Amino acid sequence: MKETLISPSLLGGNPLNIEKDIEMINRSKADWLHVDIMDGVFVPNITIGFPVLQQLAKVCRKPLDVHLMIVNPEKWVHFLADAGTMMMNVHYEACTHLNRVVQEIHDNGMKAAVTLNPSTPVSMLEDIICDVDMVLLMSVNPGFGGQKFIKGTYEKLGRLRKLIADRGSNALVEIDGGVNGETAPELVAHGADVLVSGSYVFKASDPLQKIAELKSLKP
């Protein structure tokens, strides 16, 4: 049976004590650590920068799932590779030459993921779906944690799974935004492979238990 992968989002953690949060993730059943990098231009928020990513990579024992919500993400491919990034997520909406960016990510030894904003249809991926390792569907508008889940994501997830099957792609599907105890089982049932969860995990009284509960979900 397919295993559900869990990628807790550091955006939901305590910015004054990142190392403590990472130590918790290291002890948990999480598969990856999801790191959001925002520039205040592509999205209306600013989070950690690349020097912080470089430092947290030294203490995190989980593969890094780095989500770039920035303009011109192709400028940072080499830096993310040097920092030990496993998966580099770029937004479809931020890449004029997406195929070139995906190729460059692969050439630098990382896995490549493309992210879609809630209003971007999955049909935009028809010519790239066989080249990427993962598609990330935003189930909230990107920029801030703790937002309400967009219910149309379930139907969109179904369309994406059909596209992947029709094209013979091996791409994983990751969901980010509003993933909690209510939405997570439905998302897994609809075909999600990877769940990103921030506030639901880090604001819990027992984050390790929340991660374990998400990890136990089966389609």
Active site residue 36: yes
One pLDDT digit (tens) per residue for the chain, 219 residues: 689 999 999 989 898 889 999 999 999 999 999 999 887 776 667 777 788 888 999 999 999 999 998 889 999 999 999 999 999 999 999 899 999 999 999 999 999 999 999 999 999 999 999 999 999 999 987 655 556 788 899 999 999 999 999 999 999 999 998 999 999 999 999 999 999 999 999 999 999 999 999 999 988
Backbone angles phi, psi at 136, to 5 degrees: -105, 120
Active site residue 82: no
Which residue in 21, 31, 176, 193 is the catalytic one? 176
**Domains delineated in the chain:** 5-215 (3.20.20.70)
Q: What is the pLDDT of residues 5-56, one digit of tens each?
A: 999 999 898 988 899 999 999 999 999 999 998 877 766 677 777 888 889 9
Of 3, 15, 2, 4, the closest CA to residue 198 belongs to 15
Which residue in 36, 65, 133, 193 is the catalytic one? 36
Is-above-0.75 flag for pTM?
Answer: yes
**Alpha helix segments (H runs only) across 60-111:** 77-82, 98-107
